[in-house]
Amino acid sequence: MRPKADLSRLLRPRAVAVVGATAKSGKVGRIIFETLLRAERPVYPVHPTEATILGRQAFKQVSELPAEVDVAVIATGAERATEAAEACAAHGIPFIIPVAGGFAEVGGSGAALEDRLRKLLETTATRILGPNTLGLFVPQERLDTIFVEHGDHVLAQGGGVAFITQSGSVGVEALGLESNIGFGLRAFVGLGNKVDLDEVDFMQHFADDERTTCVALYVEALPNGHEFLEAAGKLARRKPVVVLKAGRTPTAAAAASSHTGRLAGSDRVVSGAFRQFGIQRVFDEEQLCDAARVLAVTRPPEGRRVGIVSPAGGYGVMATDYVEAADPIVPLAMAKLAPETETRLGAVAPAFASLHNPVDLTASATDAMTVDAVRAVAEDPGVDIVLCVALFAPPGITDGLIRAICGLQPELTKPLILVAQFGPFTNGHLSRFHDHGVIGFPSIARAVRAVRWLVERHQISSRHRGAP
Cβ–Cβ under 8 Å, residues 409 and 433: no
Among 112, 329, 368, 393, binds another protein (CB under 8 A): 329
The site string for another protein over 175-214 (x = CB under 8 A, - otherwise) reads ----------------------------------------
**Residue closer to another protein (CB basis): 118 or 268:** 268
Least distance in angstroms from the C-beta of 400 to another protein: 45
Least distance in angstroms from the C-beta of 127 to another protein: 25
CA distance 134 to 145: 7
Least distance in angstroms from the C-beta of 193 to another protein: 18
Query: Which one-letter amino acid corresponds to residue 429?
Result: H
Among 9, 14, 262, 403, binds another protein (CB under 8 A): 262
Distances (CA, A) of 391 to 348, 398, 399: 18, 10, 10
Stretch of residues binding another protein (CB under 8 A), selected from 152-160, 260-268, 361-369, 440-448 = 260-268
Query: Which one-letter amino acid corresponds to residue 260?
Result: T
Nearest Cα to Cα of residue 203 among 227, 239, 232, 240: 232
- For the chain, how many residues are written? 468
CA distance 173 to 175: 6
**Residue closer to another protein (CB basis): 60 or 262:** 262
DSSP string, 8-22: HHHHS-SEEEEET--
Least distance in angstroms from the C-beta of 273 to another protein: 5
Does 271 bind another protein (CB under 8 A)? Our answer is yes
Does 462 bind another protein (CB under 8 A)? Our answer is no
**Residue closer to another protein (CB basis): 236 or 419:** 236
CA distance 12 to 16: 10
The shares of helix, strand and coil residues in the chain, as percent rounded to the nearest 5, are 40, 20, 40
Stretch of residues binding another protein (CB under 8 A), selected from 18-26, 44-52, 105-113, 261-269 = 261-269
Does 259 bind another protein (CB under 8 A)? Our answer is yes
Query: Chain-centre distance of CA 436, in angstroms?
Result: 18
**Residue closer to another protein (CB basis): 138 or 222:** 222
Does 313 bind another protein (CB under 8 A)? Our answer is no
Among 125, 255, 368, 393, binds another protein (CB under 8 A): 255
Does 461 bind another protein (CB under 8 A)? Our answer is no
Does 265 bind another protein (CB under 8 A)? Our answer is yes
Cβ–Cβ under 8 Å, residues 196 and 132: no
Q: Which of residues 223-252 bind another protein (CB under 8 A)?
A: 223, 225-226, 229, 249-251
Burial grade of 1 (CB within 10 A; 0-12, 13-18, 19 or more): exposed
The site string for another protein over 347-386 (x = CB under 8 A, - otherwise) reads ----------------------------------------
Cβ–Cβ under 8 Å, residues 285 and 244: yes
Stretch of residues binding another protein (CB under 8 A), selected from 64-72, 85-93, 217-225, 289-297 = 217-225
Would you call 137 helix, strand, or coil by DSSP? Answer: strand
Stretch of residues binding another protein (CB under 8 A), selected from 51-59, 137-145, 222-230, 345-353 = 222-230
**Residue closer to another protein (CB basis): 51 or 326:** 326
Nearest Cα to Cα of residue 236 among 212, 256, 253, 219: 212
Least distance in angstroms from the C-beta of 461 to another protein: 15
Does 325 bind another protein (CB under 8 A)? Our answer is no
Query: Which one-letter amino acid corresponds to residue 371?
Result: V
Least distance in angstroms from the C-beta of 196 to another protein: 20
Render the burial of 5-27: b for 16+ CB within 10 Å, e for the rest. Answer: eebeebbebebbbbbbbbbeeee
Least distance in angstroms from the C-beta of 303 to another protein: 17
Phi, psi of 100 (to 5 degrees): -65, 150
Would you call 150 helix, strand, or coil by DSSP? Answer: coil
Pairing verdict, β 136-138 and 69-74: unpaired
Residues that bind another protein (CB under 8 A): 221-223, 225-226, 229, 249-251, 254-255, 257-265, 268-273, 275-276, 328-329
